[in-house]
Structure 1
């Protein structure tokens, strides 16, 4: 009696393995779009939950802050889509004009149009419109660094080409932000510059010298401010007035501790009832922990990790040095800022006032972050084999219409 073996079906032969799916040319693209989209949706939900009480206390609609954030998202998403379709050569051509516009916009902060908050002079206020030019300057700086460093890469053996003009211009941009006493944003910009320099392959002696100079500058600025010095000392000693310098940190930790494993439930936060300042902004991660528990905070960490993995994958796979350097700067900016924000909330870092990307309330930060990620998505679309793979896949609209047609049939 002849023995028969089960031959694999054609469907089984064509089905890619899980390893093959992770090695797909479009993996970076889908990870970036998926993780950013989920963080944006989570952010909108949590902004509504964390801001409603304070809005009511200000005799405003409970949806006031959420409505503004949703409007900024509706502005940022089309801009991100456009950015995801622009080729690399367009960004390189726009590098110098973008930097010029960013520097001029930052200068407006120090004119009569500028306005301050919490001791920082970092906003432009015209009528009912408020913007933070430093966020746009981040985007302009990372594109400019990519264009300059990519062109200078073959000349890095000479330290002058490795350092000039990148370090003086970047230092000047950071210095303009520091003039407004916004140390938190300046630190994120330094992370951005470090990420771009590292991916570009700048010699370590230049990298180390620039790092020591930046650290010394931050230390001098911190020591020169009584407010910053007290925050740092409170963080080091852990012994400070709960009603003073440790107020936000203590209430942030109380929110996280109260949430437990699964949280109190969406909308059930107690700290947002005017106990925790900036609950919808710098300390929104604490409200996530209180309402969604450890599960919610781990979700945020996983999404940030997915963004980091996708951007590192673009750096490793892309053949264009400009795309690699810009992606490195954007990764250091967004991932670094997220880690700094969460580190502040859990008490690992002193309070320096930076928002959680894509999640915290803030129009300027949301729009520029979406555009920066859209730019990285454009690089992911041009990874080796990605354009061909995306061209063979039907659009979302066509897939949806096909499903509807089969359902009716």
Structure 2
């Protein structure tokens, strides 16, 4: 038999086999999905009074679990040394998650109109927190950022960010035309930002200032401010940040060590070089959960600011990619929600959703970028993953606000649809009239 006939016969047999398998599989009954899965999937798409986008909850809980696992893995050595309890930090992190969920269940009942109406009071409370931390705050590693209330430690900058974004969103609703038409409306929110930035720099906390600046910049752009105002704002902001870094020795050391950490690997570049080693060891699939070497007190802050470096070492490029995808999906949904809210003329909700999306995106980018040596270290946590009670609670609160915005838009849609439908009495009257005709 020739080679050509052999190949033809093989293809025929293969095709017949494939068809037979397909026919057999088509006859196999497919079990239905469990009813709770069907209800869950339907609930994210139906517009009812009790409906909301459940994917926000799925994303949040998934990132909670990733964070809990990574905090457990990365904090055991330092917890054993400091507290003689290897599970000290992971237990506290679990408590923070539980507390966040409890606060979320309450905050979910608060209508967006309350946030809008009380935005100025929230801003005032944020400023009081920032002043209080300077007066009675606890200092750690040269920074005064924490207010101690018995067993509770509050990082004042975290709620200050959210409350400032609430104020800024409400301001843009009231003064959007002024922001678009004249310089006065554009400058007013920047003055408020300047006051908060000054208080934050006294702690000092440059990272939070940068996050707030970028979010303010993005929100004013989305509100329709003029291009030349953004160019001026960007130039002033870049110049100010450069001067703040240059005239503060420890900040300048961070910048220079970021540019070439290997020049001083046991001094100013120590943390970054250890982080880069963790990324290098991770390769594609990582060393496996619990097998990180850098977390054995070689990498400082392994369970907080540099938790992503440990994740990269243990789960590799694939693990980092999964976390990035989860974060970007959450950011994308926040931005889409903001656009949809503006289209529905819910301007406060739209601007606030936009600000939360920009905030989460930039903070996640800076956290991962700092641990990978792309940007200078800023001391920012990875949203919903890094250890830290204040950050966890505030980020959860921001996520709950997104869920509430989505719920109110869906509720508005179903109410609008119901109002267009004729009542039963009107329907009966119309049927009777048609019968008389």
Q: In structure 1, how many angstroms separate the alpha carbons of the residues matched to 2:46 and 2:207? A: 38
Question: In the superposition, relative to structure 1, how do residues 333 and 157 fare at CA in structure 2: closer, same or farther (>3 Å)?
Answer: closer
State the match for 2:11 in structure 1.
Answer: none
State the match for 2:430 in structure 1.
Answer: none
Q: CA deviation at 1:24?
A: 7.1
Question: In the superposition, relative to structure 1, how do residues 243 and 367 fare at CA in structure 2: closer, same or farther (>3 Å)?
Answer: same
Q: Secondary structure at the match of 1:168?
A: helix
1:52 matched to 2:52: no
Equivalent residue for 2:101, pick from 77, 98, 107: 77
State the match for 1:36 in structure 2.
Answer: 60
Q: Residues 275 and 306 of structure 2 are in contact (CA less than 8 Å); yes or no, is this contact kept in structure 1?
A: yes
Q: In structure 2, how many angstroms separate the alpha carbons of the residues matched to 1:169 and 1:212? A: 19
Equivalent residue for 1:100, pick from 117, 120, 124: 124
Flag the structure with more relative contact order, 1 or 2, with Cα contacts below 8 A and sequence separation at least 6: 1
Q: In structure 2, how many angstroms separate the alpha carbons of the residues matched to 1:141 and 1:174? A: 11
Q: In structure 2, how many angstroms separate the alpha carbons of the residues matched to 1:231 and 1:241? A: 11
Q: Residues 150 and 200 of structure 1 are in contact (CA less than 8 Å); yes or no, is this contact kept in structure 2?
A: no
Q: In structure 2, how many angstroms separate the alpha carbons of the residues matched to 1:235 and 1:25? A: 49
State the match for 2:238 in structure 1.
Answer: 215
State the match for 1:6 in structure 2.
Answer: none
Counterparts of 1:7-22 in structure 2, within 5 Å, are: none
Cα deviations across residues 25-47 of structure 1 (Å, max 9, x unaligned)?
69982332221221111111111
Q: Secondary structure at the match of 1:125?
A: strand
Aligned length: 371
Q: CA deviation at 1:186?
A: 1.3
Q: Residues 196 and 328 of structure 1 are in contact (CA less than 8 Å); yes or no, is this contact kept in structure 2?
A: yes
Q: Residues 261 and 270 of structure 2 are in contact (CA less than 8 Å); yes or no, is this contact kept in structure 1?
A: no
Q: Secondary structure at the match of 2:409?
A: coil
CA RMSD of aligned residues (A): 2.4
State the match for 2:303 in structure 1.
Answer: 280
Cα deviations across residues 297-355 of structure 1 (Å, max 9, x unaligned)?
11111001101110111022112111111111111111110000000111101122111
State the match for 2:168 in structure 1.
Answer: 145
Question: In the superposition, relative to structure 1, how do residues 55 and 189 fare at CA in structure 2: closer, same or farther (>3 Å)?
Answer: same
Counterparts of 1:204-283 in structure 2, within 5 Å, are: 204-283=227-306
Q: Residues 28 and 310 of structure 1 are in contact (CA less than 8 Å); yes or no, is this contact kept in structure 2?
A: no
Q: In structure 2, how many angstroms separate the alpha carbons of the residues matched to 1:138 and 1:172? A: 13
User: TM-score, length-normalised on structure 1?
Assistant: 0.85
Q: CA deviation at 1:376?
A: 1.3
1:328 matched to 2:328: no
- The runs of 5 or more residues in structure 2 that have no matched partner are 1-31, 33-37, 416-437
Structure possessing the higher radius of gyration over alpha carbons:
2
Q: In structure 2, how many angstroms separate the alpha carbons of the residues matched to 1:43 and 1:238? A: 27
Q: In structure 1, how many angstroms separate the alpha carbons of the residues matched to 2:80 and 2:87? A: 9
Cα deviations across residues 70-103 of structure 1 (Å, max 9, x unaligned)?
1111111122233333222111112011111111
Q: Residues 48 and 63 of structure 1 are in contact (CA less than 8 Å); yes or no, is this contact kept in structure 2?
A: yes
- The runs of 5 or more residues in structure 1 that have no matched partner are 1-10, 390-409
Q: In structure 1, how many angstroms separate the alpha carbons of the residues matched to 2:44 and 2:332? A: 12
Q: Residues 77 and 296 of structure 2 are in contact (CA less than 8 Å); yes or no, is this contact kept in structure 1?
A: yes
State the match for 1:405 in structure 2.
Answer: none
Q: In structure 2, how many angstroms separate the alpha carbons of the residues matched to 1:382 and 1:49? A: 39
Q: In structure 1, how many angstroms separate the alpha carbons of the residues matched to 2:367 and 2:165? A: 21
Q: In structure 2, how many angstroms separate the alpha carbons of the residues matched to 1:267 and 1:25? A: 44
1:356 matched to 2:379: no
Higher mean Cα deviation, 191-200 or 175-184? Answer: 191-200
State the match for 1:395 in structure 2.
Answer: none
Q: Secondary structure at the match of 1:29?
A: coil
Cα deviations across residues 214-234 of structure 1 (Å, max 9, x unaligned)?
222211110111111122122
Q: Secondary structure at the match of 1:124?
A: strand
Equivalent residue for 1:365, pick from 375, 388, 391: 391
